[in-house]
Amino acid sequence: MKKVWDRLGITFSTACVIHCIVVAFLPLFFPAISIYTHSTWIHIAVGFIILFTSPLAFIPGYRKHGLTWILGVAVTGLFFISMGVILEGKVTDQTSHSVSIIGSLFLVFAHAKNLQHSHKHQHQCC
């Protein structure tokens, strides 16, 4: 069950990257679609989902493998996603979404490593 949270975390973080690229950068090339692509509530909702579900993967993972660097990468990702949500509406969409993209990339990496090291730990003997 714990692996499910890492897989969902990778899915949510990847969806966040795709959403942020589409919303922030596609309108630069196709300005007419900008009125259809941006919904502030989606950015905030996905940010909060990621913020509240990530610990469900990283805390048990850390207890299993004890690697603090994975927690550090995860916390860095969560920090950037939090900043992206906080900056929403206060700076340009490109800026707030770029910050969120950075955070999501950190989280995808952290979730992947969390899965990998939890799996390795599970098969170690003695």
Residues contacting residue 6 through CB under 8 Å, at least 6 positions apart:
57, 61, 111, 112, 114, 115, 118
Indicate whether 39 belongs to any domain. yes
Please name the residue that has the structure tokens 């900056």. 87
- Residue 108 backbone phi and psi in degrees, to 5: -60, -45
pLDDT digits (tens, 9 = 90+) for 7-42: 888 888 888 788 777 777 777 777 777 666 667 787
Indicate whether 7 belongs to any domain. yes
Indicate whether 105 belongs to any domain. yes
Indicate whether 121 belongs to any domain. no
Mean pLDDT computed over 94-105 = 90
- 3-class SS of residue 66: coil
Q: What is the per-residue pLDDT for 37?
A: 63
Between CA 24 and CA 92 the distance in angstroms is: 9
Indicate whether 69 belongs to any domain. yes
Q: Which residue has the higher pLDDT, 64 or 35?
A: 64
Indicate whether 14 belongs to any domain. yes
Q: What pTM does this model have?
A: 0.80
Q: Which of the residue ranges 43-47, 72-76, 97-101 would you say has the lowest mean pLDDT?
A: 43-47
Domain count, the chain: 1
Q: Where in the sequence is the domain holding 104, given as residue range(s)?
A: 2-113
Average pLDDT, the chain: 83
Indicate whether 126 belongs to any domain. no
Indicate whether 91 belongs to any domain. yes
